[in-house]
Amino acid sequence: MSGLPFSGKSTLSKEISSYLAIPRISFDEVWQEVETQNGFIPGKDSVDQWRYISQICEQKVSDLLQKGFSVVYDNLGDNSTNRDRIRALAKQFHSDATIIYLDVSSDEVIRRRKSNLTTQDRHQVSDENFNRAILSFQPPLKTDKVIIYNPNQDIKSWLDGHFN
């Protein structure tokens, strides 16, 4: 998955996982699990914390791939280096990685984040991490193996068109 925070990656990854009947690993859910278990996320700063959670997620993805499962990895996929790392991980297990890019504007994700402050439908992303993601996000390149999803599309039709 690739998209800004609050772009709908978790919602879409759940739909894909259900549609294809394959496991899903969610960065946000692993973050919450570790935070609930430990009371904190290990690391000297937010970058270290991100790396720590990424390592746990990527190990879970590796374990599933090694067992022969396809998997949906719900993470930020914020730049080509991180997306390439996931592709390399898949390749280790003779699998292919496809990037699903959620094409949502920064204005829209800012609106969704503000709404979440009231609804608390999902955990809140710190200002530091949110702002860093907005400023540093690099959409996938045209040369990447990428499927684009726009939230104005009907999810069922989109799934049927790409996975049926």
- Angle (CA) 130 45 75, round 5°: 45
- Identity (one letter) of the amino acid at 3? G
- Is residue 112 domain-resident? yes
Alpha carbons 8 and 12: distance in angstroms, whole number: 6
What is the extent of the structural domain holding 124? 9-159
Q: Sorting pLDDT into bands at 50, 70 and 90, what band is 123?
A: confident
Residue 2, in any domain of the structure: no
Calculate the dihedral angle through the C-alpha atoms of 79, 96, 30, 138, rounding to the nearest 10 degrees: 10
The verdict on residue 4 lying in a domain is no
CATH number at residue 147: 3.40.50.300
* Higher pLDDT pick, 21 / 129: 21
pLDDT of residue 103: 96
Mean pLDDT value across the chain: 94
Residue 47 in any domain: the answer is yes
In a domain, 3, yes or no: no
* Domains: count for the chain: 1
Of 54-63, 103-112, 122-131, the least confident: 122-131
**Mean pLDDT score, 119-146:** 88
